[in-house]
């Protein structure tokens, strides 16, 4: 039975341990929904008071940092779940007073790439407000929003949350922020409900299926998209797509929602409808902040922060109620507003602004124009016609090298959400399901995946009607398998990079994402390689005449499993190479343009293309098994006979021979059609050498993919505008 409840004002340490949780059997029973049934435990360890998290869903935080186990000191602040906080005293816990979760911009300045973008922005925002950040294009609104989201720190001033700098609050802050970039991040072939359910699986994987379904229904109702739940995202209007993006971020019930240009491209009716929807979300206690360059929606905001260009730097021109905007800026018509802001018209001074702070100001707010920082808050209701933060002479802009690139903030954001996210296996399953669903619904893509191995296999059969030997048929089968792996994957990662980053920042693991992709494509490849082998093997039997009967016997000598197995190995090589190129490429077009450069060497650097396949292996020739090649390496110390054979090849042949060692087609062909170097039958040792060669290339490809993906991932947020 609980000894204390949420209403008790003093939780004594006289009787430890104390189990904290939502269950009535816990010592301290907290009924807030984000508190787990058995959430945490307070105990003595080595003479110190320790809090230990009991694998709770939403985590235990000490001074804003998520912990598993932490020694406590008097003055520490402990949070259980998302809402309930206590102060640690010498002999007890005392509830921390619940205050409005205000966001304060205190003299914020922004510098990127060595250039000042924004100077001296000050404002105080409260839950339940719909805030507009306005200004002409390129003025720095998006950069200001990203600073508010914690993607990188301000170059001057600070951003406060609960009257604490967000860098100090850390993961506790990032856990409560929802950020929606300007570009929609939906999967077009999934329906509205499937997009949101998929996001819920990744973000709220530790909830039960029933709880996730209920959360999906809640956000669909909240953004008024229940009636469109079965529509594919591809057919939605711009405003509807934006509302679905909002719904995805609302799944975690953030305290603050930041939207970058949500009304861009919308007609006036959809613009007003979206803003009204955002107002309803704000009225439920969420702080909603939108950037915009549209004058037509100004009156729909509770407060407006206006940025203007002056001296090639954006400065705060106004902060306050929209009905006082024109008077605060000293203009009469809305049409004059953007002309003044964009062309650097004179900004009103602090003396022209309202000196008094409105009744809704956060505690400790300083009156405008007194040149004081906003360490305790900023005016929330006062109409301030100039910078409300630090005076200009106090701005200190560090060198570009001293400003973090934001990677640590992105990693912290991922860590902040991982406690609620699904585990590796569940994430892998959901990503695989999503990819399979998207592939299945793309009728043309599905038809191409099935039709390609059939059509290409048939071409091999029709063109190799008199090959003289089986090697060319094996070779083209290998080349087609490489092509299928490349073609399936080369556009995949770059195409959904924005969606990947959204999910990654919400806690998705790299292993789950890549594992799902590779697993799905391997399953598809197994079907394709089996069809290819079937067509080539059966087709060759009907096309090859009596004079080529020995060729078919050589083909039939290779078992079905061996043929498909080697085909799958070389397909996997092509798949890994395609994913690597998709990781490195900036655009889908660049990835596709790389296909000829990847495929042609597999064909041209081969015994079939150079004609060496017709030269007996007992004579000097290139493209021998790797064991024979290593026995007499170019320029190496070899026996006299081997050296003579190497010299007879000539410099060009030796160069081509060496380059071909990096091609998948060389060891794959030698594995399928092993050669007899001694005239006494092929050697198992030589065959294993070629198989090992292929496996080394396969391992190197996927090692490069893993390293390349992790390295490139850090630069993707900046590349796509985060």
In the chain, what percentage of residues exceed pLDDT 70? 83
Most confident range (mean pLDDT) of 351-360, 469-478, 538-547 is 469-478
CA separation for the pair 546, 527 (Å, rounded): 31
At 268-287, the pLDDT tens digits run 888 888 899 999 999 888 89
User: Strands 60-62, 287-292: parallel, antiparallel or unpaired by DSSP?
Assistant: unpaired
Closest CA to 285 of 442, 416, 128: 128
Tally: H helices and E strands in the chain? 27, 22
The whole-angstrom separation of Cα 690 and Cα 668 is 8
Which domains, ranges and CATH numbers included, belong to the chain?
11-95 (2.60.200.20), 103-343 (3.40.50.300), 424-628+651-720 (no CATH)
Distance CA 287, CA 148 (A): 12
State residue 57's pLDDT score.
Answer: 74
Backbone CA torsion sign across 229, 231, 232, 238: negative
Average pLDDT over residues 232-240: 92
Element (H, E) at 292: strand 287-292
Q: By the 8 A CB rule, do 144 and 388 touch? A: no
Lowest mean pLDDT among 396-405, 431-440, 462-471, 608-617: 396-405
Residues 375, 117 contacting (CB under 8 angstroms) = no
Strands (E), 17-129: 18-21, 28-29, 40-45, 48-53, 60-62, 65-67, 69-71, 77-80, 84-88, 92-95, 103-112, 115-125
Which residues, including other chains, have CB under 8 Å from residue 393's CB and lie 6 or more apart?
Answer: none
Give the β-pairing of 92-95 and 11-12: antiparallel
Count of residues making up the chain: 722
Give CA separation, 681 vs 176, 676, 685, 686, 688, in Å. Answer: 70, 5, 12, 11, 15
Q: How far is 51 from 296, CA to CA, in rounded Å? A: 52
**Residue 544: predicted pLDDT:** 74
Average the pLDDT over 111-127 and give the result.
88
Q: pLDDT band at residue 352, thresholds of 50, 70 and 90?
A: very low
Residue 137 has pLDDT above 90, yes or no: no
Q: Is 306 helix (H, G, I), strand (E, B) or coil?
A: strand
What pLDDT is attached to residue 173? 81
Encode pLDDT of 586-619 as tens digits.
999 999 999 999 999 999 999 888 888 777 776 7
Q: Tell me what the pLDDT averaged over the chain comes to.
A: 82
* pLDDT (0 to 100) of residue 100: 53
Evaluate whether 386 touches 218 at the Cβ level (below 8 Å): no
**pLDDT for 136 beyond 50:** yes
Give the per-residue pLDDT at 202: 86
Residues 561-570 have a mean pLDDT of 96
The answer on pLDDT for 341 being more than 50 is: yes
522 vs 404 pLDDT, higher one? 522
CB contact at 8 A, 420 and 203: yes
> Of 349 and 265, which is predicted with more confidence?
265
Tokens of 661: 């060692």
Evaluate whether 452 touches 533 at the Cβ level (below 8 Å). Answer: no
Reading the block at residue 155, the tokens are 């170059």
Tens digits of per-residue pLDDT, 52-103?
A: 999 887 789 888 778 899 999 998 989 898 778 899 999 999 998 655 558 9
CB-count burial class (<10 Å; 0-12, 13-18, 19+) for 1:
exposed
Q: C-alpha dihedral over 526, 531, 533, 537, to 10 degrees?
A: 160
- Cα–Cα distance, 711 to 108 (Å, whole number): 31
The H-assigned helical ranges of 119-158 are 141-149
Distances (CA, A) of 298 to 292, 304, 305, 322, 428: 9, 7, 10, 6, 44
Residue 342's pLDDT band, with cuts at 50, 70 and 90, is low
pLDDT at 404 over 60: no
C-alpha Rg value of the chain to the nearest Å: 33
Interval 617-659: pLDDT, tens: 767 777 888 888 877 554 444 444 444 455 566 788 889 989 9
- Residue 466 predicted with pLDDT over 50: yes
Q: Any idea of the CA torsion for 231, 232, 233, 235, to the nearest 10 degrees?
A: -80
């Amino acid at each position: 039975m609980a000894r204390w409840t949420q209403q008790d004002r003093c939780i004594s340490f006289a009787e430890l341990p104390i189990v904290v949780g939502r269950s009535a059997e816990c010592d301290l029973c907290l009924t807030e929904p984000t508190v787990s049934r058995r959430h945490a435990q307070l105990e003595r360890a080595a003479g110190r008071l320790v809090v230990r998290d009991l694998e709770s869903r939403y985590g235990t935080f000490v001074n804003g940092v998520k912990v598993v186990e932490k020694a406590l000191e008097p003055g520490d602040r402990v949070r259980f779940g998302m809402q309930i906080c206590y102060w640690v005293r010498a002999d007890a816990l005392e509830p921390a007073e619940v205050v409005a979760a205000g966001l304060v911009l205190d003299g914020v300045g922004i510098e990127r790439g060595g250039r000042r973008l924004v100077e001296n922005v000050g404002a105080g925002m409260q839950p339940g407000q719909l805030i507009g950040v306005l200004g002409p294009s390129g003025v720095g609104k998006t950069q200001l929003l990203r600073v508010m989201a914690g993607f990188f720190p301000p170059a001057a001033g600070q951003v406060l949350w609960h009257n604490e700098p967000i860098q100090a609050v850390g993961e506790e802050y990032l856990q409560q922020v929802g950020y929606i970039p300007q570009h929609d991040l939906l999967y077009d072939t999934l329906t509205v409900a499937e997009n949101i359910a998929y996001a819920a699986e990744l973000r709220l994987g530790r909830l039960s299926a029933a709880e996730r379904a209920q959360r999906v229904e809640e956000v669909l109702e909240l953004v008024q998209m229940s009636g469109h739940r079965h529509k594919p995202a591809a057919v939605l209007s711009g405003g509807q797509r934006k509302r679905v993006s909002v719904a995805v971020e609302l799944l975690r019930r953030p305290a603050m929602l930041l939207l970058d240009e949500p009304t861009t491209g919308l007609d006036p009716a959809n613009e007003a409808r979206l803003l009204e929807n955002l107002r309803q979300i704000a009225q439920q206690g969420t702080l909603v902040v939108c950037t915009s360059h549209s004058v037509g929606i100004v009156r729909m905001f509770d407060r407006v922060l206006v940025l203007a260009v002056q001296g090639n730097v954006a400065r705060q021109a106004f902060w306050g109620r929209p009905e006082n905007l024109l008077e605060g800026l000293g203009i009469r018509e809305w049409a004059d507003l953007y002309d003044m802001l964009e062309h650097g018209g004179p900004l009103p001074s602090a003396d022209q602004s309202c000196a008094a702070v409105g009744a809704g100001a956060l505690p400790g707010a300083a009156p405008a124009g007194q040149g004081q920082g906003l360490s305790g808050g900023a005016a929330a209701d006062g109409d301030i016609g100039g910078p409300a933060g630090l005076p200009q002479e106090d701005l200190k802009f560090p060198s570009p090298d001293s400003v973090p690139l934001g990677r640590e903030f992105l990693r912290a954001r991922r860590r902040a959400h991982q406690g609620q996210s699904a585990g590796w296996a569940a994430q892998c399953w959901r990503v695989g399901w999503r990819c399979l669903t998207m592939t299945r619904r793309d009728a043309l893509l599905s038809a191409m995946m099935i039709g390609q191995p059939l059509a290409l296999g048939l071409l091999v059969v029709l063109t190799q009607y008199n090959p003289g030997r089986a090697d060319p048929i094996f070779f083209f089968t290998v080349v087609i398998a490489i092509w299928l792996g490349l073609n399936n994957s080369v556009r995949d990662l770059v195409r959904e990079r924005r969606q990947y980053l959204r999910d990654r920042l919400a806690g998705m693991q790299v292993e789950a994402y890549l594992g799902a992709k590779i697993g799905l494509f391997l399953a598809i490849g197994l079907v394709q390689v089996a069809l290819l082998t079937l067509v080539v093997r059966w087709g060759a039997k009907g096309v090859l005449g009596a004079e080529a009967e020995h060729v078919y016997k050589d083909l039939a000598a290779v078992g079905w499993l061996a043929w498909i197995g080697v085909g799958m190995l070389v397909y996997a090589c092509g798949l890994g190479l395609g994913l690597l190129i998709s990781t490195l490429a900036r655009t889908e077009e660049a990835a596709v343009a790389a296909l000829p450069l990847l495929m042609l060497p597999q064909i041209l650097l081969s015994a079939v293309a150079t004609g060496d396949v017709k030269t007996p292996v007992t004579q000097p020739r290139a493209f021998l098994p790797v064991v024979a090649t290593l026995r007499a390496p170019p320029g190496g110390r070899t026996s006299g006979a081997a050296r003579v054979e190497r010299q007879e090849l000539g410099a060009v042949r030796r160069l081509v021979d060496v380059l071909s060692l990096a091609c998948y087609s060389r060891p794959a062909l030698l594995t399928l059609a092993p050669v007899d170097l001694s005239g006494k039958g092929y050697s198992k040792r030589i065959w294993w050498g070629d198989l090992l060669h292929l496996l080394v290339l396969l391992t190197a490809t996927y090692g490069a993919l893993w390293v390349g993906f992790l390295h490139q991932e850090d630069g993707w947020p900046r590349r796509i505008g985060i």
